């Protein structure tokens, strides 16, 4: 024993310590993965069907605007999250030759996370939302996420690293470290907000800065929640399943560090052609292009690890899932940089192309890597054979067909709609001036997408049956093998550096060669604290380089004199807009392109959003942009349209919102909304004292105008009046005749 | 080099690692993507030759309106001009797009009326003469829900759109057309058709 240890350059104590892995917690996380995966995909299927058949929207709780955040949050944080935890809890123990640091923390983590998911599933349909994509959950839940992630998961993971009996950390652990550190940073800084009520808050950032923070978060949620932990998963489970060595340790090092450094910068590519400053947009594009190879490093290391094992792919469903998963990772990480090129983005942004891109990543990469892992784990965790390999293979083929139907139809939909939006006729007028024409054109694709989603969900049901049957065959009592390994000593001497071709007097060249040899990195791999600090420095530095100028340079957001805060009633209406999740289908950002200014009006300026806590620029135009909707329609039109869109637009797919005509505005509560906004720096004058009265006065003014227009009566105190007030204000300030302000008075 | 030679001594839970070199094409593309950034950022952000998305937009708009409206000069919003433009089918066809984007959602795709009044019949709520159409479009009838477009459309666009609205009168009764509202007006006055094409060719 000792001779072998010395030969490896290891120094360990002679005494062997006994330990048992905690697989019960892995079984729990795996079960949660399957249950939430089914729920997330079922909700996804429901909202896909709602796009084809708007009558499937059941207001107020089950409309597209409220269910879509439930779908995204459940898919990312419930399905993806539990899959990550399954992988981390299984592999970390084995890579560290150590039980998890604390069984109590493991269980607190598990139940805390499920509690967070359950509270999301309740609050989102009820309309409690911060209206920032994938960060919708309200502030008490945000706090719970930070506690569970850092306090339970983080402490438990790093505690395990400290107690490990394996000298060096394997590449999977590097990716787990990057995940835990960065997700904590992203979540905390994007979620900073001022509470208004128990389940309502306003973010501290506004407009351009809020948009920047949100997509710094949003893009890196993709990076550090859906990429790095799944690469860690791949690095553990793929070599285990193939029984082949990893292709290249060098590549692991270089693609790990380049990935964590470069990913952070890429967020602004979500905001091309918007009011974001041009330099940030350029940084977003250039770093996204640089990200191509670091991402592909993971794919290469995965696919080339399969060398010599391709014959197994033909028979083993686990490897089938891994191969297709990694291939989808490669495709979507090529597509991402391509979409970040400004001119490509100008076509793709706001269309279904982005939805297709995302789903090739989530269904293909995250889903299939998870399924492969579950099929590999099930026999080991339940200590019996997998119930049916045939059924698993059927799942693979049904799932793959599902993804293909889904993404191909939605790519077609995205490109079709993007081209229709920008098409001009011979006279230079928009060829499809009526937005709904571009919606109707997508209907066949929407139904094919729903079919693809149904197939994918069917595959998940087969997985559930297979795992259930396997579980039924488990032994009476699980065997808990005892493992032995010596503890690590404090002292450790690095192995001698390899001989170099340079002599000592060419010190510079010799050092360079040693650097490239990577001995320094090998050292870091046994110093978890140092490794973690370097990860933190890398991601924090990259973040600050972009964030500091965004917040500090005044010229980023030139002020516009005529832009004023929302009136108290409009603010309340804005909160109705947020609660209904309107941002899920409507952007508020007219881009500087003739096709957009013809359709919507003047393009959006950064100074117009300075009072928008949160920003509502949106990311997908299932319906038209709303930034210049203020003053475009009569109150009467809005009320009839919101009550039932199909009264006015025959083929509209927008949900109806009849409840807004019956639910009352809580006028007294508006004061608190105004006061919190004022605390965040919005200059409210008189409204600080008498917001309810001001809101009532404006509401009865609008109700009176509505009556004159021949519309509904007696809506003075209904939510719809607040929402109409907000919609009529949208984007109108820059057209306001500044001198006549006082004269026109009441009409905002 | 055989595989055995580059297998490292690393082992974690049975997982081993090769020390294979990263493929050369990987390095080549990675370095290209890094070096591409420097001239790109320099050209667009620090050199006088670069342009912003707003510059590109401004020149696109300028070129478009130059081509579309230069020949009109500065259109008057009087009776003769509106009637004259109305009679020119080419100009009306070219204005249809503006109507579809800005007006159709309330007045119907063919002017048959929806939330807003029907404009295909002989009855008008807010005007007595043809040139008043221009005033209604520019200033709106805000109390009744008609927005003011004066600040959102260019001066020539407003005159052309007024002519287009006038041209809708007398279209065949459409199914689902809104009932007549307001007063019946006498037919639009007579004026010769206006055309600017020859002048623009001379100028060109």
Q: How many CA atoms lie within 13 A of A347 on its CB side?
A: 15
Q: pTM value?
A: 0.90
Assign 3-state DSSP to chain B and report helix, strand, coil percentages, each to 5.
50, 10, 40
Chain B residues close to A601, C-beta within 8 Å: 152
Domains in chain B, please, with CATH?
3-45 (no CATH), 74-203 (1.10.760.10)
How do residues A77-88 score in pLDDT, each as one tens digit?
A: 999 999 999 999
Q: What is the 3-state secondary structure (H, E, C) of A361-389?
A: HHHHHHHHHHHHHHHHHHHHHCCCCCCCH
Q: Are A214 and A276 in contact (CB under 8 A)?
A: no
In this structure, what are the phi and psi dihedrals at residue B130, rounded to the nearest 5 degrees?
A: -65, -35
Q: Which helix (H) or strand (E) holds B183?
A: strand B183-184
* Tokens of residue B172, six digits: 């065949």
pLDDT at B71: 82
Q: What's the gap in Å between the CA of A144 and the closest CA on chain B?
A: 34
Q: Which residue of A has its CA nearest to B104?
A: A434
* 8 Å CB contact of A248 and B17: yes
- Residue A646 is given by DSSP the state G
Kindly state the average pLDDT of the residues B55-81. 87
How many other C-beta atoms can be found within 10 angstroms of the C-beta atom of residue A279?
17
B158-170 in b/e form (b: 16+ CB < 10 A) is bbbbbbbbbbbbe
* 8 Å CB contact of A245 and B18: yes
The answer, for A659 touching chain B at a CB cutoff of 8 Å, is no
Q: Are A238 and A324 in contact (CB under 8 A)?
A: no
Helices (H), A382-442: 389-422, 435-440
Comparing CA positions, the residue from A27, A69, A56, A79 lying closest to residue A457 is: A79
* Tokens of residue A168, six digits: 């060096």
Q: How many CA atoms lie within 13 A of B122 on its CB side?
A: 5
DSSP-based three-state secondary structure for A263: helix
The answer, for A333 touching chain B at a CB cutoff of 8 Å, is no
How many other C-beta atoms can be found within 10 angstroms of the C-beta atom of residue A291?
25
How many other C-beta atoms can be found within 10 angstroms of the C-beta atom of residue A250?
22
Chain A residues close to B70, C-beta within 8 Å: none
The answer for residues whose C-beta is within 8 angstroms of residue A466's C-beta and 6 or more apart is: A375, A378, A386, A387, A388, A391, A392, A395
* 8 Å CB contact of A640 and B93: no
User: Which residue from B8, B41, B101 is facing A598, i.e. has the nearest CB?
Assistant: B101
Q: Which CATH number fits domain A14-472: 1.20.210.10, 1.20.58.100, 1.20.1090.10, 3.30.565.10?
A: 1.20.210.10
pLDDT at A544: 94
The answer, for A253 touching chain B at a CB cutoff of 8 Å, is no
Q: Using CB atoms within 10 A of its CB, is residue A728 exposed (0-12), middle (13-18) or buried (19+)?
A: buried
* 8 Å CB contact of B97 and A598: yes
pLDDT at B171: 78
* Tokens of residue A217, six digits: 């978060």
The answer, for A8 touching chain B at a CB cutoff of 8 Å, is yes
Q: Which residue of A has its CA nearest to B93?
A: A427
How many other C-beta atoms can be found within 10 angstroms of the C-beta atom of residue A40?
25
Q: How many CA atoms lie within 13 A of A532 on its CB side?
A: 15
Residues linked to residue B17 through DSSP beta bridges, in sequence order: A246
DSSP-based three-state secondary structure for B120: coil
Q: Are A323 and B66 in contact (CB under 8 A)?
A: no
Question: Using CA atoms, how far apart are residues A134 and B183, in angstroms rounded to an integer?
Answer: 56
Q: Which helix (H) or strand (E) holds A15?
A: strand A12-19
Q: What is the 3-state secondary structure (H, E, C) of A297-349?
A: HHHHHHHHHCCCCHHHHCCCHHHHHHHHHHHHHHHHHHHHHHHHCHHHHHHHC
* 8 Å CB contact of A246 and B18: yes
* 8 Å CB contact of B37 and A289: yes
* 8 Å CB contact of B94 and A236: no
* Tokens of residue A656, six digits: 């109806």
Q: Using CB atoms within 10 A of its CB, is residue A230 exposed (0-12), middle (13-18) or buried (19+)?
A: buried
Q: How many CA atoms lie within 13 A of A86 on its CB side?
A: 29
Listed as ranges, residues in chain A with pLDDT below 50 are 1-10, 740-748
* Tokens of residue B146, six digits: 């008609």
- Residue A650 is given by DSSP the state T
Q: Using CB atoms within 10 A of its CB, is residue A311 exposed (0-12), middle (13-18) or buried (19+)?
A: exposed
* Tokens of residue A117, six digits: 């998911």
Q: Which residue of B has its CA nearest to A628?
A: B152
Helices (H), chain B: 24-45, 53-69, 79-86, 89-102, 104-107, 132-139, 155-168, 197-203
Question: Using CA atoms, how far apart are residues A176 and A182, in angstroms rounded to an integer?
Answer: 10
Question: Using CA atoms, how far apart are residues A280 and A414, in angstroms rounded to an integer?
Answer: 26
How do residues A374-408 score in pLDDT, each as one tens digit?
A: 999 999 999 999 999 999 999 999 999 999 999 99
Comparing CA positions, the residue from A387, A397, A382, A232 lying closest to residue A317 is: A397
Q: Which helix (H) or strand (E) holds A178?
A: helix A171-190
Q: Are A245 and B17 in contact (CB under 8 A)?
A: yes
Test mutation, B3, B6, B8, B15, chain A, max A CBs within 10 A: B15
Domain boundaries, chain A: 14-472, 568-744
pLDDT at A122: 98
- Residue B23 is given by DSSP the state P
In this structure, what are the phi and psi dihedrals at residue A218, rounded to the nearest 5 degrees?
A: -60, -45
A/B interface, count of CB pairs below 8 Å:
175
pLDDT at A579: 98
Test mutation, B2, B5, B22, chain A, max A CBs within 10 A: B22
Comparing CA positions, the residue from A613, A252, A213, A635 lying closest to residue B115 is: A635
* Cα A442 to Cα A352, A422, A438, distances in angstroms: 10, 16, 7
Question: Nearest 5 degrees, angle CA A152-CA A154-CA A155?
Answer: 70
Q: Which helix (H) or strand (E) holds A456?
A: helix A443-472
Question: Using CA atoms, how far apart are residues B158 and B77, in angstroms rounded to an integer?
Answer: 8
In this structure, what are the phi and psi dihedrals at residue A439, rounded to the nearest 5 degrees?
A: -80, -45
Q: What's the gap in Å between the CA of A236 and the closest CA on chain B?
A: 8
Q: Ramachandran region of residue B176, left (φ > 0), alpha (ψ -120 to 50) or beta?
A: left
Q: What's the gap in Å between the CA of B182 and the closest CA on chain A?
A: 14
How do residues B114-169 score in pLDDT, each as one tens digit?
A: 888 999 888 998 999 999 999 999 998 888 888 888 888 888 889 999 999 999 99
Domain A568-744: state its class.
mainly alpha
Q: What's the gap in Å between the CA of B94 and the closest CA on chain A?
A: 5
Q: Are A569 and A722 in contact (CB under 8 A)?
A: yes
* 8 Å CB contact of A428 and B115: no
The answer, for A643 touching chain B at a CB cutoff of 8 Å, is no
Question: Using CA atoms, how far apart are residues B149 and B128, in angstroms rounded to an integer?
Answer: 20
Chain A residues close to B13, C-beta within 8 Å: 91, 94-95, 97, 170, 236, 240
Q: Using CB atoms within 10 A of its CB, is residue A95 exposed (0-12), middle (13-18) or buried (19+)?
A: buried
* 8 Å CB contact of B105 and A637: yes
* 8 Å CB contact of B145 and A282: no
The answer, for A273 touching chain B at a CB cutoff of 8 Å, is yes
The answer, for A258 touching chain B at a CB cutoff of 8 Å, is yes
* 8 Å CB contact of A245 and B16: yes
Question: Using CA atoms, how far apart are residues B56 and B7, in angstroms rounded to an integer?
Answer: 55
Residues linked to residue B123 through DSSP beta bridges, in sequence order: B184
* 8 Å CB contact of A250 and B19: yes
Q: Which residue of A has its CA nearest to B30?
A: A293
Q: What's the gap in Å between the CA of A599 and the closest CA on chain B?
A: 6
pLDDT at A737: 63
- Residue A494 is given by DSSP the state P
Q: Are A673 and A726 in contact (CB under 8 A)?
A: no
The answer, for A434 touching chain B at a CB cutoff of 8 Å, is yes
* 8 Å CB contact of B151 and A735: yes
Question: Nearest 5 degrees, angle CA A105-CA A106-CA A109?
Answer: 80
Q: What is the mean pLDDT of chain B?
A: 86
Question: Using CA atoms, how far apart are residues A748 and B22, in angstroms rounded to an integer?
Answer: 63
């Amino acid at each position: 024993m000792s001779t072998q240890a010395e030969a490896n350059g290891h120094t360990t104590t002679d005494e062997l310590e006994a330990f048992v892995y905690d697989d019960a917690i892995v079984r729990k996380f795996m079960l949660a993965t399957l249950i939430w995966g089914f729920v997330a995909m079922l909700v996804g299927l429901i909202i896909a069907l709602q796009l084809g058949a708007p009558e499937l929207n059941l207001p107020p709780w089950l409309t597209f605007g409220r269910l879509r955040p439930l779908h995204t949050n459940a898919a990312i944080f419930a399905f993806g999250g539990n899959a990550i935890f399954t992988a981390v809890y299984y592999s970390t123990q084995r890579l560290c030759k150590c039980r998890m640091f604390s069984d109590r923390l493991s269980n607190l983590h598990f139940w805390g996370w499920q509690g967070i998911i359950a509270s999301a599933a309740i609050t989102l349909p009820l309309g409690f939302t911060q209206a920032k994509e994938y960060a919708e959950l309200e502030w008490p839940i945000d706090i719970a996420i930070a506690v569970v992630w850092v306090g339970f998961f983080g402490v438990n993971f790093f505690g395990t690293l400290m107690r490990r009996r394996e000298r060096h950390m394997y590449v999977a652990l590097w990716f787990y470290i990057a995940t835990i550190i960065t997700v904590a940073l992203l979540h905390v800084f994007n979620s900073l907000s001022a509470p208004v009520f128990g389940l309502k808050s306003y973010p501290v950032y506004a407009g351009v800065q809020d948009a920047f923070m949100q997509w710094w978060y949003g893009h890196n949620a993709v990076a550090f929640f859906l990429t790095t932990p799944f690469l860690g998963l791949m690095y553990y489970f793929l070599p285990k399943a193939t029984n082949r060595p990893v292709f290249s340790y060098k590549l692991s090092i270089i693609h790990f560090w380049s990935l964590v450094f470069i990913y952070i910068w890429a967020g602004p590519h979500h905001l091309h052609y918007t009011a974001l400053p041009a330099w940030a947009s350029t940084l977003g594009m250039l770093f996204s292009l640089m990200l191509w190879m670091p991402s592909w490093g993971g794919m290469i290391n995965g696919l080339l690890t399969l060398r010599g094992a391709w014959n197994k792919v033909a028979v083993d469903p686990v490897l089938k899932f891994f191969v297709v998963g990694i291939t989808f990772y490669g495709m979507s990480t090529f597509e991402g940089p391509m979409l970040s090129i400004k001119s490509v983005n100008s076509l793709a942004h706001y269309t279904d192309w982005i939805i297709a891109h995302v789903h090739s990543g989530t269904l293909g990469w995250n889903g299939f890597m998870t399924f492969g892992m579950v099929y590999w784990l099930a026999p080991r965790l339940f200590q019996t054979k997998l119930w049916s390999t045939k059924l698993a293979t059927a799942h693979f083929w049904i799932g793959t067909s599902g993804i293909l139907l889904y993404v191909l139809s939605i790519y077609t939909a995205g490109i079709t709609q993007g081209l229709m939006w920008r098409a001009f006729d011979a006279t230079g007028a928009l060829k499809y001036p009526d937005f709904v024409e571009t919606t109707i054109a997508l209907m066949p694709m929407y139904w094919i997408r729903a079919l693809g989603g149904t197939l994918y969900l069917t595959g998940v049901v087969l997985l559930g049956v297979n795992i259930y049957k396997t579980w039924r065959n488990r032994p009476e009592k699980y065997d808990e093998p005892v493992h032995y390994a010596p503890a690590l000593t404090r002292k450790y001497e690095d192995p001698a550096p390899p001989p170099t071709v340079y002599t000592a007097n060419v010190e510079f060249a010799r050092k360079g060669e040693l650097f490239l040899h990577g001995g320094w990195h090998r050292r870091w791999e046994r110093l978890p604290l140092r490794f973690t600090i370097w990860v933190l420095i890398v991601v924090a530095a990259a973040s600050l380089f972009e964030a500091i100028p965004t917040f500090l340079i005044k010229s980023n957001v030139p002020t516009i004199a005529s832009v004023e805060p929302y009136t108290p009633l409009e603010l309340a209406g804005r909160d109705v807009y947020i609660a209904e999740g309107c941002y899920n289908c409507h952007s508020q950002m007219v881009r500087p392109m003739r096709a957009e200014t013809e359709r919507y009006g003047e393009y959006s300026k950064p100074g117009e959003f300075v009072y928008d806590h949160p920003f509502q620029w949106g990311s997908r135009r299932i319906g038209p942009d709303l930034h210049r909707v203020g003053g475009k329609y009569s109150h009467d039109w809005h009320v009839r349209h919101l009550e039932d869109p199909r009264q006015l637009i025959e083929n509209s797919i927008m949900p109806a919102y009849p409840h807004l005509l019956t639910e009352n505005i809580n006028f007294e509560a508006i004061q608190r909304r105004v006061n919190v906004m004022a605390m965040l720096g919005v200059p409210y004058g008189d409204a600080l004292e008498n917001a309810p009265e001001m809101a009532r006065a404006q509401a009865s003014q609008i109700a009176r105008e509505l009556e004159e227009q021949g519309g509904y009566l007696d809506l003075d105190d209904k939510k719809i009046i607040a929402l109409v007030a907000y919609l009529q204000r949208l984007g109108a300030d820059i057209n306001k005749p500044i001198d006549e302000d006082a004269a026109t008075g009441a009409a905002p | 080099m055989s595989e055995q030679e580059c297998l490292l001594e690393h082992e974690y839970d049975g997982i081993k690692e090769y020390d294979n070199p990263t493929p050369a094409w990987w390095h080549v593309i990675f370095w290209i993507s890094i070096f591409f950034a420097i001239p790109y950022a320099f050209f667009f952000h620090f050199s006088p030759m670069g342009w912003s998305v707003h510059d590109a937009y401004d020149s696109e708009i300028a070129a478009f309106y130059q081509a579309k409206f230069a020949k009109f000069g500065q259109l008057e919003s009087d009776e003769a001009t509106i009637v004259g433009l109305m009679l020119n089918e080419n100009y009306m066809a070219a204005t249809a797009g503006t109507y579809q984007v800005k007006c159709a959602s309330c007045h119907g795709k063919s002017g048959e009326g929806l939330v807003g009044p029907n404009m295909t019949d002989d009855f008008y709520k807010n005007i007595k003469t043809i040139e008043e159409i221009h005033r209604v479009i520019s200033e709106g009838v805000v109390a009744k829900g008609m927005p003011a477009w004066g600040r959102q459309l260019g001066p020539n666009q407003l005159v052309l759109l007024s002519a287009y609205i006038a041209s809708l009168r007398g279209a065949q009764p459409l199914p689902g057309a809104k009932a007549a509202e307001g007063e019946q007006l006498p037919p639009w006055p007579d004026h010769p058709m206006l055309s600017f094409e020859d002048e623009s060719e001379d100028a060109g």
